[in-house]
Chain A
Amino acid sequence: MSNKPIPHAKSAAEWIEKEDHYTFHDERLWDMRQKRDEQMHLLPEWQDLREQASRLKEHTLAHLPHYLEQFEENARRNGIHVHWARDGAEHNRIVESLLKKHNKTSIIKSKSMITDECEMREYLEPRGYSVTETDLGERIQQLDGQMPSHVVVPAVQKLTGDVAQLFAKYYDTDPASDDPHELAEAQRIAARPALLTGDTGMTGGNFLVAETGTFVVCTNEGNADLSANLPDLHIATLGIERLIPRMADLGVFIRLLSRSALGSPITQYTTHFRKPKKGGEMHVILVDNGRSDRLAMDDFWSSLKCIRCGACMNTCPVYRRSGGQSYGAVYSGPIGAIIDPTFNAKKFSTLPFASTMNGSCTNVCPVKINIHDQLYKWRQVLAERHEIPFVKRALMKMAGRLLAQPALYRLSISGAEVALKTVPRFALYNYFNQWGKHRELPHPVKETFHSWYKKNRLNKEKGAEKEETEA
């Protein structure tokens, strides 16, 4: 994996130039945020639900080993095989060994962020296995060789015209016909044979229930149910933080998940998997991949509460205006910006800076992750580790020294012609060049407040005192 910092600002600038994409993307996601608000207003207990969800997740994370073992024991009792993967590589080897053991070669797969995180397709495909994404958005991204743009709507950065051109390459459809129904139908026609011939089904999962040893998958297209149930072998991959203690806790999360994500009361399908079908096998792979390390980070552990609803992305004015691809990561948007640096602090060092720190993400988060506070803290951590550009570091050091010395500071901005002409050179060159690309500079003024105050208050007071003494 390349370690070069992701050029978020540059990619975002290019994205903005595509006016039709930009407008659609911003408005589509803003609409999801609006629908989320409507659902929130329908539930007077919304803030209580968020508080409960947050506490449940915090409790579970504080007792993670206990609940993981409880899940494992109960799942085994149900007849599910449970595997533990320390990282993505181990996960992929487990999947491969299961395929080998059962002589399987073709996977039909529903959307799961964690298999993308493990780079499973990249591992399996060169080894002769076929992996077919069955979620429409995820399939579009697979055909285009791109990572998901969004955790819930993976291809949201594409217009129907883009999809029409992409499908034409693979599905023998008309590249000029961008009717969404026709496109969905083309995908359906292409997916059905794959679903019927695929010999292994893979899914992700939204929740692991410790008490029952079951797991729950929430989808809208029904493709996860087909993927899981048609073949005899079902492999489900879930991160260890998907746990909740009891079935009774599930309702809190189900009520929040789709309302936060899409603004719909519930997903079309909420499927509980308990045991393999007759004659089949069911495997659950529990993946760590850095999660235990994150749990040990004082400032960042609570990001593990995330239920992957994408509400923070929908509300984020920067994400909406830069597109998911600009984050160069499996997880984009505000949640990505605080999770990704735990995987690779150098590569993702730019992401915590891809924010105005407006705080809207924290307010919509259904499990109350303090996302914008963590962005601020990541900036401190990254600067301390020298993972911010040298020029910026030098600039901040200079600014820090200048602003700590009033006399020097005054010298640097004073003089007859204030403001723009006499702003310190470093500020002028490093800042206003960028400032001025798409904006006008502030207008020059005759005098600073400082000098006005001196003339109109301090000197007047002195003058008045003088008059008094003379009188």
Chain B
Amino acid sequence: MKIGLFIPCYIDAFYPKTGIATLELLEKLGQNAEYPMDQTCCGQPMANSGCSPDAKMTEELFVRNFAKYDVIVAPSGSCVHHVRDHFDAMEQTADVRHVRQNTYELVEFLHDVLKVRDFPWAEFPHRVGLHNSCATLRSLRTASMSELGEPFFSKPKTLLSAVKGISFATPKRPDECCGFGGTYSVTEEAVSAKMGLDKVTDHHEAGAEYIVSADTSCMMHQQGCAERNGVPIRFIHIAEILNGAKA
């Protein structure tokens, strides 16, 4: 199985550690992963703004970059949701369909495809608050949703539970959106930032030292809100913990 690694633009530019951890983790698990050098973005910022036609060329580039791989893996639920559910602006060729059907968010790839349950190298002796992005929760469905009253399950928590020393804090509103919302974070910055502050405060009050998530974009926003308001909490991508980061 040849894996194409998709590292979204904001991870590439601001959080390269997360991209490195994702690659190293896949390599530790014996996988053959490759990063196509001509990748840019999945097209979501334009499409979410209503401008699907402007996203089309970016999405076509994505398909050209990744169609040759058996699977595509990205440490970002939000981008994977876009590829899978909203790649509608271009003609639905065999390549497009292949890419849409075989793009995975890292947690679901580890949990459902590789079925990894042990990370013997991983140890994280900290209390963490798990943040499920709305894309992973309500589109990719990697965890149960409170609105539906379904039995509890959480793929990210299942994976993290294998990490030595880790413990979990439970915020009051675990499913509540953190307010990032892509371009929403700037078009309605006041509400967005308030939601972010409420979110990090909820985790902090629940006793979390770290917020851990499969979505860096949510955390980039939350970190900005926490730092501006002096909420003492740190942020780490799930790939880094599973890859053995100590702090």
Binding site for B on A (CB under 8 A): 8-9, 12-13, 16, 22, 26, 30, 37, 40-41, 46-47, 315, 317-318, 321-322, 352-360, 362-364, 376, 378-384, 388, 392-393, 396-397, 399-401, 403-404, 406, 409, 413, 418-419, 423, 430-431, 434-435, 437-443, 445, 447-450, 452-454, 457-458
- CA–CA, A454 and B47, complex, Å: 30
Within 8 Å by CB of A12, from B7, B53, B61, B191, lies B191
How far does the alpha carbon of A430 sit from the alpha carbon of B187 in the complex, in Å?
Answer: 10
- Which of B122-130, B172-180, B204-212 contacts the other chain? B172-180
State whether A13 touches B191 (Cβ < 8 A): yes
Q: Once bound together, how far apart are the Cα atoms of A210 and B23, in whole Å? A: 62
Main secondary structure of the interface of B (DSSP, over half): helix
Query: Is the beta-carbon distance between B224 and A441 smaller than 8 angstroms?
Result: yes
The winner among A8, A315, A364, A452 for most chain B CB atoms within 10 A is A452
- Which residues from chain B contact A382 at a C-beta distance below 8 Å? 50
Q: Which of these, A46, A439, A454, contacts B228 with CB under 8 Å? A: A439
Let me know if B77 is at the binding interface, CB within 8 A: no
B57 in the interface (beta carbon within 8 A): yes
Show 17 A/B contacts (Cβ-Cβ < 8 Å), sorted by A: A13-B190, A317-B179, A318-B188, A321-B191, A357-B181, A363-B145, A364-B147, A376-B86, A379-B50, A396-B49, A403-B43, A403-B58, A404-B60, A409-B40, A438-B193, A439-B193, A439-B228
Q: A13-B191, A354-B188, A363-B148 are in contact. Are A452 and B224 (CB under 8 A)?
A: no
Contact B50 A356 (CB under 8 A): no
Q: Please give, as numbers and ranges, the residues of chain B lying within 8 Å of A362 by CB-CB distance.
A: 138
Q: What separation, in Å, do the CA atoms of A39 and B156 have in the docked complex? A: 28
Distance to closest chain A CB from B175 (angstroms): 7
A403 to B86, CA, bound (A): 17
Contact across chains for A317 and B177 when beta carbons are under 8 A apart: yes
Known pairs A321-B191, A397-B51, A438-B190; A359 contacts B139 (CB<8 A): yes
Bound-complex Cα distance A362 to B147 (A) = 9
A443 to B: closest C-beta gap in Å: 7
**Which residues of chain B are within 8 angstroms of A393 by Cβ–Cβ distance?**
51
Chain B interface: which size bin?
Answer: 35 or more
Q: In the complex, how many residue pairs between chain A and chain B have their CB atoms under 8 Å apart?
A: 218
| Contact assessment for A454 and B37 in the assembled complex, using a CB-CB cutoff below 8 Å | yes
* Extra 9 A-B pairs, beta carbons < 8 Å, given A13-B190, A321-B198, A450-B35: A317-B179, A356-B177, A383-B50, A383-B52, A392-B49, A396-B54, A406-B61, A423-B13, A430-B186
User: Are B46 and A396 closer than 8 Å at their CB atoms?
Assistant: yes
| Contact status A443-B177, CB under 8 Å | no
User: Per-residue 0/1 for B3-14: is the Cβ within 8 Å of any A Cβ (1 yes, 0 no)?
Assistant: 000010111111
A30 to B220, CA, bound (A): 26
Task: Note all chain B residues with C-beta closer than 8 A to A360.
Answer: 134, 138, 147, 175, 177
Kindly provide the distance from the CB of A31 to the nearest chain B CB, expressed in whole angstroms.
12
On chain A, the residues within 8 Å of B19 by CB distance are 449, 452-453
User: Which residues of chain B have C-beta atoms less than 8 A from A26's C-beta?
Assistant: 198
Closest 8 CB pairs of A and B: A356-B181, A383-B50, A439-B224, A400-B54, A379-B50, A438-B193, A404-B57, A363-B147
Contact A448 B13 (CB under 8 A): yes
Which of chain A's residues have a CB closer than 8 A to the CB of B15?
442, 445
> Which residue of chain B is the closest to A397 with respect to CB atoms?
B54
Q: Does B121 contact A (CB under 8 A)?
A: no
Whether A355 pairs with B14 at a CB distance below 8 angstroms is no
For A418, the chain B residues whose CB sits under 8 A away are 13
Q: How far is the CA of A404 from the CA of B54 in the complex (A)?
A: 10
Q: How far is the CB of A367 from chain B (nearest CB, A)?
A: 14
| Among B12, B20, B50, B194, contact of A321 (Cβ-Cβ < 8 Å) | B194
Closest chain A residue to B180, Cβ basis: A356
Please tell me if B153 contacts chain A, counting CB pairs below 8 Å: no
* A16→B196 CA distance, assembly (Å): 13
Residues in B whose Cβ lies below 8 Å from that of A447: 16
Residues in B whose Cβ lies below 8 Å from that of A441? 224
B16 touches A452 (CB 8 A): yes
List residues of chain B with CB within 8 A of the CB of A448. Answer: 12-13, 16
**Is B86's CB under 8 angstroms from A355's CB?**
no
Closest approach, in angstroms, between the C-beta of A57 and any C-beta of chain B? 19
Contact call B149/A435, Cβ cutoff below 8 A: no
Looking at the complex, which one of A321, A354, A449 makes contact with B16 (CB distance below 8 Å)?
A449
Say whether B102 faces chain A, with CB atoms less than 8 Å apart. Answer: no
Are B184 and A356 in touch, CB under 8 angstroms? yes
Q: By the criterion CB–CB under 8 Å, are B134 and A357 in contact?
A: yes
> CB distance A442 to B188 under 8 Å?
no
A397–B50 CA distance with the chains assembled, in angstroms: 11
| A223 → chain B closest CB, angstroms | 31
A40 to B148, CA, bound (A): 8
Minimum C-beta distance from A470 to chain B (A): 25
Are A16 and B191 interface neighbours, CB within 8 A?
Answer: yes
Give complex CA distance A383, B89 in Å.
14
Choice from B7, B134, B196 contacting A449 with Cβ under 8 Å: B7
Q: Tell me which residues across on chain A come within 8 A of B175, comparing CB atoms.
A: 360
The answer to whether residues A9 and B12 also contact, given A400-B58, A440-B227 and a CB cut-off of 8 A, is no
Q: How far is the CB of B138 from chain A (nearest CB, A)?
A: 4
Name the CB-closest residue of A to B39.
A406
CA distance A355 to B187 in the complex (A): 10
Once A399-B46, A447-B16 are accepted as A-B contacts, the answer to whether A16 and B190 lie under 8 Å apart by CB is: yes
User: In the complex, are the beta carbons of A450 and B139 less than 8 A apart?
Assistant: no
> B185-241: which have CB < 8 Å to A?
185-198, 220-221, 223-225, 227-228
User: A9 contacts which of B52, B147, B180, B191 (Cβ < 8 Å)?
Assistant: B191
- Residues in B neighbouring A47, C-beta threshold 8 A: 148-149
Cβ-defined contact, A396 with B187, below 8 A: no
